[in-house]
Amino acid sequence: MADLLKIAIAAAMINNVVLSQFLGLCPFIGVSKKTKTAAGMGAAVIFVITIASALTHIVYYQILDRLNIEYLETIVFILLIAALVQFVEMVLKKMSPPLYSALGVYLPLITTNCAVLGVAITNISDSYTFVQSVVNGLGTAIGFTIAIVILAGLREKMEYNDVPESFKGTPIILLTAGLMAMAFSGFAGLL
């Protein structure tokens, strides 16, 4: 149990997929304008990464590994993730049309979000068990959600600040994300 907690904390805080591995930057920057939208995206990513971690582990070890076709892992993982995101998109469209509209083009971008694929490949390369893969996926997704919600909160506050003209827009967002990455690196001594 302690190992699972270490995996989850390391994935969420120390090896944060956005702030230390720089995966998933497109939705991180694009959807972080409002905290409500960022939280919705985070919830969708939590669902997708957690389920994708479980599915990719099963498919890899039950099909690809047994048939000695491990070289197809990236293609197969992308197809699994795309199908899963389509499912999430249909559910959000039915259950929460405002969130579906708010996420807009960024919801389909989860399909190509390299964070989802990166977690699936990391789980295999680190030889995680099924439970460890799911915990790592969940921890990674929670870390993504924490980072995107924090950035969204900071961006909402920055709207009322006097930002120099040359820093307005993307430069101040990237600078803020860089400062967040430095702050998150302080968690490295945690484990």
pLDDT digit string, tens, across residues 28-63:
888 888 998 888 888 888 888 999 999 999 999 999
Measured CA to CA in angstroms, residue 127 lies from 61, 124, 131 at distances of: 10, 5, 11
Sequence-ordered list of residues with C-beta below 8 angstroms from that of 137, at least 6 positions apart, any chain: 11, 49, 50, 52, 53, 54, 119, 120, 123
pLDDT at 91 over 90: no
The whole model's pTM is what?
Answer: 0.87
pLDDT at 21 over 90: no
pLDDT digit string (tens) for 103-145? 766 677 777 778 899 999 999 999 999 999 999 999 999 999 9
| Contact between residue 159 and residue 83 where contact means Cβ atoms under 8 Å apart | no
**pLDDT > 70 fraction of the chain, expressed in percent and rounded:** 97
Distance CA 42, CA 31 (A): 10
- In residues, how long is the chain? 191
- Which residue carries 């068990």 as its tokens? 129
Phi, psi (5° rounding) for residue 68? 55, 40
Report the pLDDT averaged over residues 168-190.
Answer: 87
CB 131 within 8 A of CB 7: no
Lowest mean pLDDT among 20-34, 69-83, 120-134, 145-159: 20-34
Cα 37-43-48 angle, rounded to 5 deg: 125
